[in-house]
Each structure stands twice: as structure tokens, then as C-alpha cells.
Amino acid sequence: MSSLAPLDASKVQITKTTTPKAKLPKEELVFGQSFTDHMLTIEWTAEKGWDTPQIKPYGTLNLDPSSCVFHYAFELFEGMKAYRDANGGIRLFRPDMNIARMNASAERICLPEFDSEELIKLLAEFVKTDSSFIPAGDGYSLYLRPTMIGTDAGLGVSSPGKALLFVIASPVGPYYSTGFKAVRLEATSYATRAWPGGCGNRKLGANYAPCIKPQRQAASRGYQQNLWLFGEEDYITEVGTMNLFFVFNKDGKKELVTAPLDGTILEGVTRDSILALARSRLPTDEWTISERKLTMTEVAERYHKGELVEAFGSGTAAVVSPIKEILYKGEDIMVPCVNGESGNLTDQVWKWLGDIQYGREEHEWSFKI
Ligand SMILES: Cc1ncc(COP(=O)(O)O)c(C=O)c1O
């Protein structure tokens, strides 16, 4: 039997700050720019396993410059939110999915795995400790950033023998403070985000840094994000840091399409939730819900035939992000936005998810703290 200590939430030690921060007025919150009073940290070593979890004052980390995170990118992260509901209660949204994905990311880069339920208990304790930072109101939330890094000192390239799991939290305001703003995309085939056999389906920091340069190039041409294509066929994969959905209508029969989880797509919690809600709530005689390969050529063809109805990205930060235009092979494909800056399904999905996240509708996905 292994003598390694498992992650154990019951052992958590809480040290409260003696210098609480002044809270910003919620209208002044900028995504990821201000943080709460505390952080959760848990150290791990290959010899002993998981150490005592600590909730302690937010502060800098002290790491040896040779730590493997700085040289070989032993880093993974998650993004999730805590919401304040209309009764003042606190809720997470499907934390089991984020934490399962975190373990899958850890497994991919030889960082230690852990008991998901224990980490969810610790997250709940941490959120309770800093609950006064959760802004109230529709669109407001506390963004949680669970992270794990390899901390071994030394330049050998091998699996980490030391790691640090930490969670920080940032109060955030609505992504769209004045209603949806549909975005313009540049379909990018000169740079590739992920490839078969790679690690695009894991939330590793190393997947993100190389995406900034193509995004800046698209921005310099007036497009907010890249639509990442793959292969000679120009398969549609993701948009920026979101999953991507298209709606087509052929002779009155509608299809909601997103790329299948083939290893090149991040397994988005929002994506999974939209598929499940669409399957259970949209009338089956009108709608087909598809996870299938889709090429940019098909989108262009169906646009020319008048079959393209709407398109949107999905992710924790924005929930849904409507798309109004896609540049592909020199042509701007104009995506209809029948409600001005969004389409009907985009609006519907936004409402469905918001109602569950803010507890206006009781649902098994809402995790009360
Ligand atoms: C590359 C990428 N795709 C998709 C998503 C959306 O995932 P989720 O819905 O879990 O936020 C994210 C954000 O986490 C992402 O970074």
C-alpha cells in the first residue's frame, strides 16, 4: 500500500489576513486585475504526497529560478466562477467538470493527480472565506483560477517531484456590460492551435502563449479573434479561447453544429452544457444537434446558399459570444444577427445558462456552497 498522503480537505488550515483590502466598486472591476484577500495553496512531493492545504493571505510565491515550471512549462490551470444568487447564496457551476479536466491536464504533463471531491470541498471553503468579494448582480461573479505548477529546482527534464497547487480569485463584472457585441473573426490556417496527438484538449499554459501572436495579427487587420482551422481541409476547431457553434437551416430543419472532441478541442464546460440543454430543450422535429467535423468550405458554401443562421463562441468568461463576420480566403462571410448583435439561439442559450448559474432555475448543475 502506498504511504503517500492523499489530498485531505478536512486538514485545511486557515490563516486570515490582518490587512484586508479595500473593495473596488463593482462597476470598476476589470477581468483578472484585482484579487481577493486570500489564496488556497497545497504543496505536493513525490516522497510524501499532498501536504496540509492552506488558506492564507494572498501573496507572492517564492520559487527557485531553476524551478521546472519556468523552463519546461509544467503548468496547468482552470477557469470557473462562483455566483451570488438572488437570495444572497453562493453557487458554483458544474465544479466537478472543471476539476476532472484539471486532473486530466495534470495526468498529461506528469503533475500529481488528486481526489476531485476533496479539491471541490477546499474550493468551497476558500470561496466562503472570501465570499465578501463576490459582487452581486446579473453578470457579476468571482472568477476562480485553480493552477498547478512543477516546482522542482534543477534543469533536468523529467517528471516533477515537487508541485504546488494554488487557487486565486478575482471579482469580475459582466463581459457585456451594455448588451452583446458580436465579433469579427479571421479564419487562420497559417498557424495551428492544436493537432492530433498533441495536447490541445488539455488546459496547459503552454497551449496559450503561442496563440497571442496570430491573435495580434488578426487584431491588426480589424478582427477581434482567430478562428482556428486545422489541416488542408480547413476543419473548424475553436475561436480564440472558446468553443464554437454554428446554426444552419435547410428547408426549415435546423442544425446546431460544434466540432467533436477529437483531442484537438478543449472540452469546454459551457460547450458540454449547451449541447445537453439543446438536446433536452429544443424540439426534436425541428432541430438536429451535431458534434461533427465541419470545414470552413462548408460554412462558406452554406452562407452562399442562405443556410447560415448564426454562430457563437462559448466559454466561462463570456458564456456565449456572438459572431457577425468571418474572413475566409479573402471573403468576409457575414453571419446573420437577427437580433442586432446576436441570433435567437445565442440569446436562448445565454438565458438558459444564466438562469442556472444565478439560481433563478434550480438545476443539478448548480452547486450550492
Ligand atoms: C481553448 C479554450 N477553448 C474553450 C474554452 C471554453 O471552456 P469552458 O466552457 O470550460 O470555459 C476555453 C476556456 O476555458 C479555452 O481556453
Determine the distance separating the centroid of ligand 1 and the alpha carbon of 337, expressed in angstroms: 23
- Nearest CA-CA partner of 140 in 302, 49, 17, 30: 30
Q: Which residues line ligand 1 (CB under 6 A)?
A: 79, 238, 241-243, 266, 268-271, 314-316
Question: What's phi and psi for 243, nearest 5 deg?
Answer: -80, 165
Number of domains the chain contains: 2
Q: Are residues 128 and 260 in the same domain?
A: no
Output the furthest CA–CA distance in the chain (Å, rounded): 65
- Nearest CA-CA partner of 169 in 55, 38, 297, 65: 38
**Structural domain of residue 77, as residue ranges?**
9-174
Q: Are residues 114 and 222 in the same domain?
A: no
Task: Tell me if 368 is assigned to some domain.
Answer: no
Task: Tell me if 168 is assigned to some domain.
Answer: yes
Instruction: Indicate the top mutation candidate among 225, 243, 356 to test ligand 1's pocket, ranked by most ligand atoms within 8 A of CB.
Output: 243
Q: Which atom of ligand 1 is nearest to the CA of 240?
A: 1
Q: Are residues 276 and 166 in the same domain?
A: no
Q: Are residues 203 and 306 in the same domain?
A: yes
Q: Of the candidates 174, 192, 208, which is a domain's last residue?
A: 174
Q: Are residues 197 and 324 in the same domain?
A: yes
Q: Are residues 259 and 313 in the same domain?
A: yes
Task: Tell me if 298 is assigned to some domain.
Answer: yes
Q: Are residues 188 and 170 in the same domain?
A: no
Q: What pTM was estimated for this model as a whole? A: 0.97
Task: Tell me if 1 is assigned to some domain.
Answer: no
Task: Tell me if 367 is assigned to some domain.
Answer: no
Which pLDDT belongs to residue 175?
A: 83
Q: Are residues 219 and 308 in the same domain?
A: yes
Q: Of the candidates 174, 199, 223, which is a domain's last residue?
A: 174
Task: Tell me if 158 is assigned to some domain.
Answer: yes
Q: Of the candidates 174, 207, 238, which is a domain's last residue?
A: 174
How far apart are alpha carbons 360 and 363 in whole angstroms? 9
Which pLDDT belongs to residue 178?
A: 75
Q: Are residues 151 and 189 in the same domain?
A: no
Q: Are residues 194 and 120 in the same domain?
A: no
Residue nearest to atom 1 of ligand 1 (CA): 241
Q: Are residues 151 and 191 in the same domain?
A: no
| 10-residue averages of pLDDT along the chain (369 residues) | 87 97 91 95 98 98 98 98 95 98 98 98 98 95 98 96 98 86 94 96 98 95 95 96 97 97 98 98 97 98 98 96 97 97 97 97 96
CATH of the domain at 86: 3.30.470.10
Q: Are residues 163 and 216 in the same domain?
A: no
Q: Which atom of ligand 1 is nearest to the CA of 193?
A: 1
Q: Which atom of ligand 1 is nearest to the CA of 272?
A: 9
Determine the distance separating the centroid of ligand 1 and the alpha carbon of 70, expressed in angstroms: 24
Residue nearest to atom 16 of ligand 1 (CA): 241
- Nearest CA-CA partner of 231 in 267, 187, 195: 195
